[in-house]
Structure 1
């Protein structure tokens, strides 16, 4: 079990590092992710109350709820996690996804067989999802050990990153530039990884099980949380939108961007089925395609209109070559 949340909050001294208004929402989102990781660690540890006893069904359900909350808190925090304090491999350590070469899947299979984590993916949320949502029978001791290992790893990771992130000071100008890049990168992830990978070129090439968090039914909620985070980054006090408003033609572009956020969110709400089913459903697939187009349009506004308008160069994005 990790340090209690309140004690850790006092240890990290979050209020002391929240000097700039632009840093406040990011610190809050990262703190919420850290708290969710600690709560998941606690819930996972309680699944098998006795060392050799069976899993408690009620505790399993509580662990599933804690997992769902952690996944969505991570989606919300990820857009804010920018700057020198953020490890380059953080996303892979939280959830090794996407897994185009199957390496994460192989690590998880080996871990399920041995009952202990084998590889970076086996200490991440993909392992926890497999244990909590794919078990066909009673969760055994091996599953409980893996769940505890994931909880410990994620609580430790989130706590360490939160401490470093909130303690690191960067200028508002640098933070604003990094957050605009994060908006671009987040929209690329949503379109290319969260939607297009499972959508395929047509209904015959759709692969619903390529969707993020499909086992736990979180594919669409994860997209919603990511979009909400991008919008929060844009609207942050003294952030990107504020800088845009100071430009001569800024208010008109700001109105366009806000309207595009609304259209994108409406397109997401129109998808009726879980994403892994919707991509192969004749009635719902066009709605997913419409959602993809709206996300791509929002991305174009950010890259081609917003960045030049406030004089920020976005540079290279690793997903551009995919």
Structure 2
């Protein structure tokens, strides 16, 4: 309950700012509502897992898994904001430790579950490895091997799940707090000016938005779709996809692409670009629409879907559409805005 009350208080704080420039438009139309949803759903997730621990049952486990799915969808939208408060202090990685090609997260959460040592989580999860702090670790607790025991009562596993879910809610609250009206970051993003770090002018804000779009599209393709697809069906491995245990892979990726689409729409490029360049934003939207529509058709378990038709073809089509969208963002949208794009959040990873 405490987590939920904190989340609701922060929803009230992330209030609209004056939307004079594109930063203000994005803050009002995308950042504030997305963070409001995220703080609410992560608070409800923490409360749901606490209720499961207090009164275990099949219904309580189902409720917690449903709350997890809702929070994952909201994370898909918020994850597009991979700069500023979400990038600070490694928060993105703490919430979503991915890619994890060596299964570090799985090994660490399995080790923690096997230890049974309450002292390990007595002070919460914030001091632990990033691999133990966020959604992938919680997915294993709620959906991984042995998770069915939560319904009958598994106090230690449930305590671990509760600690991770509380940590997720806490990080979400911190991100929302630093985006709240009147904070230095929100003020600079919505009304950039000389001496008002980190954004000194409108072009720097535009550059951050375009970089966020490009980074998200690259991450989805390179970290979430290409590895499980492999070069051919025989090399496909659904276990290299995020959220395969909960079978939320397609819905997570669709939410991320929808986050890109929402940010693009709120930035208003189809209306604000020079008349002869507005087709660029419309073309990006077209590719994003196609990817979302196709991902919605995936109906097989994620563990098998990447290597089995017709779902493999659907994931491959979505990956291609996002490749085209990324090219349009990096090349044509940046040029239409007069930007020279440099590094994105993934360079050097």
Give me the TM-score of the superposition, normalised by structure 1: 0.88
- Stretch of structure 1 that moved more, 270-279 or 104-113: 270-279
The equivalent residue for 1:47 is: 52
The equivalent residue for 2:77 is: 76
Confirm whether residue 296 of structure 1 aligns to residue 326 of structure 2: no
* Contact residue 267 and residue 294 of structure 1 kept, 8 A: no
Contiguous gaps of at least 5 residues in structure 1: none
Q: Distance in 1 between matches of 2:86 and 2:287?
A: 32
- Stretch of structure 1 that moved more, 131-140 or 144-153: 131-140
- Stretch of structure 1 that moved more, 273-282 or 30-39: 273-282
Which residues of 2 match residues 112-131 of structure 1 at below 5 A? Answer: 112-115=113-116, 116=120, 119-131=129-141
Q: Tell me the CA shift for residue 84 of structure 1.
A: 5.8
Which residues of 2 match residues 40-189 of structure 1 at below 5 A? Answer: 40-49=45-54, 55-83=56-84, 86-115=87-116, 116=120, 119-136=129-146, 137-139=148-150, 140-166=154-180, 167=183, 168=185, 169-172=187-190, 173=202, 174-189=204-219
Q: Distance in 1 between matches of 2:7 and 2:227?
A: 40
Q: Distance in 2 between matches of 1:32 and 1:230?
A: 16
Alpha-carbon spacing, 1:295–1:3, altered in 2? closer, same or farther (3 Å):
closer
Alpha-carbon spacing, 1:68–1:84, altered in 2? closer, same or farther (3 Å):
closer
Q: Distance in 2 between matches of 1:160 and 1:22?
A: 19
Q: Tell me the CA shift for residue 248 of structure 1.
A: 4.2
* Contact residue 108 and residue 127 of structure 1 kept, 8 A: yes
Output one character per residue of 1:257-316: Cα deviation in whole Å (capped at 9) or x when no partner: 232223323332343424332211144323322221111111111111111111122212
- Stretch of structure 1 that moved more, 75-84 or 286-295: 75-84
Q: Distance in 2 between matches of 1:49 and 1:222?
A: 29
How many residue pairs match? The answer is: 314
Q: Distance in 2 between matches of 1:262 and 1:3?
A: 33
Q: Distance in 1 between matches of 2:249 and 2:94?
A: 19
The equivalent residue for 1:21 is: 25
Q: Tell me the CA shift for residue 176 of structure 1.
A: 2.7
Alignment RMSD: 2.4
Alpha-carbon spacing, 1:317–1:290, altered in 2? closer, same or farther (3 Å):
same
Q: Distance in 2 between matches of 1:318 and 1:156?
A: 23
Contiguous gaps of at least 5 residues in structure 2: 122-127, 191-201
* Contact residue 306 and residue 312 of structure 2 kept, 8 A: yes
Q: Secondary structure at the match of 2:343?
A: coil
Output one character per residue of 1:146-177: Cα deviation in whole Å (capped at 9) or x when no partner: 01101221111111111012232224523332
Q: Distance in 1 between matches of 2:251 and 2:345?
A: 25
The equivalent residue for 1:227 is: 257
Alpha-carbon spacing, 1:207–1:15, altered in 2? closer, same or farther (3 Å):
same
Alpha-carbon spacing, 1:49–1:235, altered in 2? closer, same or farther (3 Å):
same
Q: Distance in 2 between matches of 1:207 and 1:18?
A: 47
Q: Which of 283, 291, 314 is the aligned partner of 1:256?
A: 283
